[in-house]
Amino acid sequence: MRRIHVIGIGAGDPDFVTAQAVSALNDTQVFFAMDKGPRRGAADDLVAVRKLICDRFITEPRYRFVELVDPPRAAAGDAPGYRQVVADWHAERARIWAAAIETELGPDGVGAFLAWGDPSLYDSTLRILDKVGEHVDFEYDVIPGITAIQVLTARHRIPLNDVGEPVLITTGRQLREHGLTGSAVVMLDADCSFQQCPPQTRIWWGAYLGTPDELLYAGTVGEIGDEIVAARAEARTRHGWIMDTYLLRSAD
Ligand SMILES: C[S@@+](CC[C@H](N)C(=O)[O-])C[C@H]1O[C@@H](n2cnc3c(N)ncnc32)[C@H](O)[C@@H]1O
């Protein structure tokens, strides 16, 4: 039976790769990589980190990379439309992945997908693999990785939750639509949506976490919100891309 590892590689620093991930990397014959095309400025840097991880941790290199061409994704306006567009796109990707698994892996071959951070968090690999199973037989396992959230809280040396309190993990769009109650981690936010929170809201912000370009800011939205907006815009222009994550706690 073909086997697939879905390996969380941590969100930035190759030192985040776990011993379990190293075993799975060394067990892999074919790494399947998504070709994100020119629309993703981060693509080159992120592919470079993946190659660096393979070079560093694989002791007897017998592996190869296979690029999977990403199907084009139609634009969608409203939320229900968006879900359908994503579902169609995942179905198309599943067909492409299934064909690649069948062609590139022998009957007992071992393949892997490397997921940034942890595969369970804002990552579609597991959803798509579930659909791939409709086309081709294989087994798969999941190796957890260090998420951007864990790097953020470690760098700021803070607990994620207040004592006995919940934490919401959400997106910039959801924060703008629903506002903040208690604590929330915000990811995938191109618009500095924290600016809509009351000025006394506390914020712990981090960009390029775990990399040599890491940026960190902590304070209240009123005190440092503008500084974050300016630093983010400057860094984004300089690098051509940015990934940032932040924790918010409402003042009351
Ligand atoms: C598609 S999600 C993937 C999250 C990933 N699976 C994880 O476990 O962290 C991408 C978002 O994660 C956050 N992110 C990932 N890596 C980051 C990093 N090194 N520094 C800051 N934010 C990061 C950003 O909010 C980015 O928009």
* Predicted confidence band of residue 38 (pLDDT cuts 50, 70, 90): very low
Percentage of the chain surpassing pLDDT 70?
A: 94
Q: Cβ(185) to ligand 1 under 6 A?
A: no
Distance 136 CA to ligand 1 centre (A): 30
β-pairing, 167-171 vs 110-115, is unpaired
Q: At what angle do helices 79-104 and 125-132 cross, to 10 degrees?
A: 60
pLDDT of 18 over the 70 cut: yes
Residue of the CA atom closest to atom 27 of ligand 1: 188
Q: Whole-model pTM?
A: 0.93
Distance 10 CA to ligand 1 centre (A): 10
Percentage of the chain surpassing pLDDT 90?
A: 81
Residue to substitute in 6, 7, 187 for testing ligand 1 pocket (most ligand atoms within 8 angstroms of CB): 187
Q: Where are the domains of the chain?
A: 3-143, 148-249
What would the mean pLDDT of 9-15 be, rounded to a whole number? 94
pLDDT value at residue 40: 52
Q: What does the alpha-carbon distance between residue 92 and residue 68 come to, in Å, rounded to a whole number?
A: 12
Consecutive H or E run containing 67: strand 64-69
- Three-state secondary structure call for residue 5: strand
Determine the topology of domain 3-143 in CATH. Answer: Cobalt-precorrin-4 Transmethylase; domain 1 (3.40.1010)
CATH number for the 148-249 domain, one of 3.20.20.140, 3.30.950.10, 2.40.10.230, 3.40.1160.10?
Answer: 3.30.950.10
Residues 178-192 have pLDDT tens digits of: 999 999 999 999 999
Residue to substitute in 175, 188, 203, 216 for testing ligand 1 pocket (most ligand atoms within 8 angstroms of CB): 188
Judged by phi (left if over 0) then psi (alpha if -120 to 50, else beta), residue 10 lies in left
Question: Which has the minimum average pLDDT: 85-89, 149-153, 248-252?
Answer: 85-89
